[in-house]
Structure 1
Amino acid sequence: MATPAIDSSVLTRRGVLTATAGSLLLSACGQAQPQDEAEPDGSASPGGPELLIGVSLELTGRGAALGVLQERALRITLEDLNVDRVQVGNQRRSVRVLVRDNRSDPRLAAQQATDLIRKERVHALLGTTLTETAMAVVGVAQRLQTPFVSLAPGDGIVLPLAQRTFIYKLTPDAVDVARRLARLISSRGLERVALLAADGLHGDSGVRAVAAACRAAGVELDRTVRLPRTGGDVARAAREAVAGDPDGVVVWAAAPDSGTAARALRRARWRGPLFFDAAAVAEETVEGSNAAAVEGAYVVHPTCLTDSTLMGTTTAALARRELVFRYIHEYGGFSGFAPYASDALQLIANAARLASSVDRGRLRAYLQTQVTEGMAGWYAFAPIRHGGMERDSLGVYQLTQGSWARVS
């Protein structure tokens, strides 16, 4: 086995996108023709031809709860890709990733992205699990016309599309998650809920989406309270959220803030049901001091969250099963958030295969025509849609005795 090269129903919508993928492809970039397989600066790769990908992840800092999971999955998928390498035109290219720890700092993430593009000459970028670091990379990637596949939540990452032509997002759209949550809340006979939303761009998306979804579902949104920045008084926000004695509380925040918010709500003597958005899911959320606070909570998440998804026999299901088994063997447990990095790597590799080139512009064009089942769920990219997670990839789960079980 090769050594990984690392430096440090919606069926209608999918069917339409699939049926038109060919015409979209031709309109986006013309017929695929093999190109000169040189590096972006015109020089040959020193160790043979490569597909070079820059990776910015939160390996330390507030985003580490999710960032570390991505690096682990990335290593496993990279090793698999390099067994046979990637056929790009008439050459097989090794995949090499340059991993950088952005320390959960947007300014550092932007500088690293700039260096990866200008100095390292990467063909594409992937990564970041915080919306703020993602947006910092977005500005660099768009300006320097380099494809960037984001792992962070937040609809603004890919909108407005006219200003995000090189940007793609794998996480589900806030509106899709909010609609599922609102329907779930209504089906449980709950009439009034409070929203406790994270500070920042991810929370902004949640506030807009939950308000609209509650109106459509006939659920009263009693109040919206924003969590303070890390280190702020979470207890006060929790008390304010439950002051009106709601039937339930929606916590729209990524790990580790989701677990912190749940503990604060329980300390405020609130014992009603909790509802999380997809970004809340990480091992840290359900372990240690968070365990009792989040027991019984609901989450809307892509269907990769539980072992029940390992029973399928599709190519993607088999690949997912292999990833989960290897991940558990190497790290002792598996988080449903982890497959995003694997999917991002595969999508970029597939774009290189389809384009018969590692040219950044052609990679961008072929990323936006992919309709495929990944390890986290279904993606349906199009020139008019760069947030590719399909809404029918989402399921409702409840935490029971420390494990997520699908309920719908």
Structure 2
Amino acid sequence: MPRWRNLAAMLAVALTASTGCTDANAGNDADVVVAASLELSGNAADLGVAYQRALELRAAQINASGLLGRRRVTVRFQDNRGDPAIASSQITAFTEDPSVVAIVTGACAECTIGAAERIDARRKPTIALSPVAEVSAPVSQRRYIFRLAPNADDNAVVLGRELGRAGQRRLAFLSSDDAYGRGGTDALTREAGKIGAKVVAHAQYAPSDADLGHAARAALAGNPDAVVVWGYPPQAALAVAALRGDGYHGQVYLDADAAGDLFLGGPAANTDGTALVFIQTLAIDDVIATTPAKAARRQWFQDYTSHYGTYHGHASFAADALQLVANAVARSGSIDGETLRARLETSQIDGLSGPIRFTPNNHSGFMPQALTMLEARAGRWRLAG
């Protein structure tokens, strides 16, 4: 039996022991079908493909574990190309399909927000992998939508603390001109004020831009001590390359959603020395596995890397999303939407991405204590210091 099957079996036993669900699904045979609308092409394909790979691998692990008894979890994928109209059509079809138990959506905030009313009306539990708070809030209008991704406010707090520690007082922001970038800018501006830093420039780029030279020059016009880049992985790498190409040798900081592949090649080869706020899993080789949760994260990292040849930082969020759905089914013995929603909003696990806690009043489950500082060294991400 492959080692990841052994790990999955151990995790399933632990879950059963902690929840008191002993073979709750023994008499149920219906598959647990999860539908995923992801950005498998277009500007955010880097993230979408990582989510797809993680969901496929985690589904195999869950099925090998026996967590769901005779049931099997299957994932159906559709490419929304980062287009809210396409995503809305896909998600609408998912909500109307009685065989679909739950939905996973990707980084595109508008793609989920545009379908929010239909998701709630059809009572279809949905976990979004978007960093934008409005995807899952207010809860009164998003009863069936949960969110699992680093939060802008939490990212900004960690970055602000690091900027203050390093004595960076003249800051430039370089961010995407969308809900994700604007939310990050607002959060980081607040944190900069708390450490007495001055924002000397703020440059934006369109999510579809491939040439970030103009934005980089605008960010550097204020002669900053440090530049904070707030963008998804491909454009974050392009932004750093543009800054270095313009002769900037100061410190560059990245927010959590800029995390991409473990190994830094192509445009990302220019990121050596760059700081990143993210979770430990991307640099798990530097972490001593002193707890079962850390051991599970290390094993997940190794399994994903052995399957796909590298590791993508955001893979663990997608894997945790699927695990949360499987756990909700295992705990309740049901695939009813209302039952699963109730289970999800009281879920508490030490996931592959870190501690996750949902409550009836907060459908954003990722906990900020999982965030730490990483740095690019010798072509890969490492724990800072």
**TM-score > 0.5, shorter chain as reference:** yes
Query: Are 1:276 and 1:297, in contact at CA under 8 Å, matched by a contact in 2?
Result: yes
Aligned residue identity for 2:204: R
- Give the match for residue 356 of structure 1: 333
Contact 2:281 2:298 in 1 (8 A): no
The match for 1:195 among 158, 164, 173 is 173
Letter of the structure 1 residue corresponding to residue 39 of structure 2: E
Matched, 1:221 2:199: yes
Q: What amino acid is aligned across from residue 344 of structure 2 in structure 1? A: L
Q: What is the DSSP-based 3-state SS (H/G/I as helix, E as strand, rest coil) of the residue aligned with 1:282?
A: coil
Change (3 A) 1:284 1:99: same
Alpha carbons of structure 1 residues 402 and 216: separation in structure 2 relative to 1, 3 Å: same
Find runs of 4+ consecutive structure 1 residues off by over 4 angstroms. Answer: none
Please provide the CA RMSD for this pair. 2.4
Question: Structure 1 residue 95 and structure 2 residue 77: aligned?
Answer: no
Which amino acid counterpart does residue 63 of structure 2 have in structure 1? N
Corresponding residue number in structure 2 for 1:55: 36
Instruction: Please give the alpha-carbon distance, in whole angstroms, between the structure 2 residues aligned to 1:123 and 1:380.
Output: 21
Task: Count matched residues.
Answer: 365
CA deviations on 1:250-297 (whole Å, 9 max, x unpaired) are 1011121111211222233222111101111112993113312x1111
1:343 aligned onto 2:320? yes
Equivalence map 1:26-105=2 (5 Å)? 48-87=29-68, 92-105=70-83
Q: Where does residue 6 of structure 2 map in the other structure? A: none
**Distance (whole Å) between structure 1 residues aligned to residue 211 and residue 298 of structure 2:** 41
Structure 1 residues 111 and 61 mapped into 2: Cα distance closer, same or farther (>3 Å)?
A: same
Counterpart-to-counterpart distance in 1, 2:279 and 2:34? 25
- The alpha-carbon distance between structure 1 residues 232 and 84, as it changes in their structure 2 partners (threshold 3 A), is closer
Q: What code does the residue aligned with 1:67 have?
A: G
CA distance in 1, matches of 2:173, 2:262: 22
1:3-402 paired onto structure 2 within 5 Å: 48-87=29-68, 92-119=70-97, 121-231=99-209, 234-283=212-261, 286-292=264-270, 294-308=271-285, 311-402=288-379
- Decide whether the 8 Å contact of 1:238 with 1:265 is kept in 2: yes
Percent of matched pairs sharing the same residue = 32
The change in CA–CA distance for 1:229 and 1:254 in structure 2 (over 3 A counts) is: closer
| Structure 2: distance between partners of 1:335 and 1:147 | 26
Consecutive unaligned residues in structure 1, runs of 5 or more: 3-21, 23-33, 39-47
Select between 160-169 and 359-368 the one with higher mean Cα deviation: 160-169
- Greater RCO, 1 or 2 (C-alpha within 8 Å, sep 6+): 1
Evaluate the alpha carbon distance shift between residue 232 and residue 304 of structure 1 in structure 2; reply closer, same or farther with a 3 A threshold: closer
Distance 1:143 1:233 in 2: 42
Shift of 1:368: 0.7
Contact 2:173 2:227 in 1 (8 A): yes
TM-score normalised by length of structure 2: 0.88
Q: Which residue of 1 aligns with 2:10?
A: none
Q: Is the 8 A contact 2:262 2:381 kept in 1?
A: no
Q: Distance in 1 between matches of 2:154 and 2:76?
A: 33
Deviation for aligned residue 1:160? 1.8
Equivalent residue for 2:11?
Answer: none
Contact 2:262 2:310 in 1 (8 A): no
Structure 2 SS opposite 1:123: strand
Offset, 1:234: 2.5
TM-score by length of 1: 0.84
Once the 2 structures are TM-superposed, how far is the Cα of residue 168 of structure 1 from its aligned partner?
A: 1.0
Change (3 A) 1:274 1:106: same
Q: Does the CA-based 8 Å contact 1:256-1:285 persist in structure 2?
A: no
Q: Do 2:346 and 2:359's aligned partners in 1 also have CA atoms closer than 8 Å?
A: yes
Of 338-347 and 220-229, deviating more is 220-229
SS in 2 for 1:397: strand
What residue ranges of structure 2 are gaps of 5+ in the alignment? 3-18
Once the two structures are superposed, residues 327-365 of structure 1 have per-residue CA deviations (whole angstroms, 9 ceiling, x without a partner) of: 222211112211111100000111112222111011111
Alignment CA distance shift 1:121-1:178 (3 Å): same
Cα shift at 1:169:
1.0
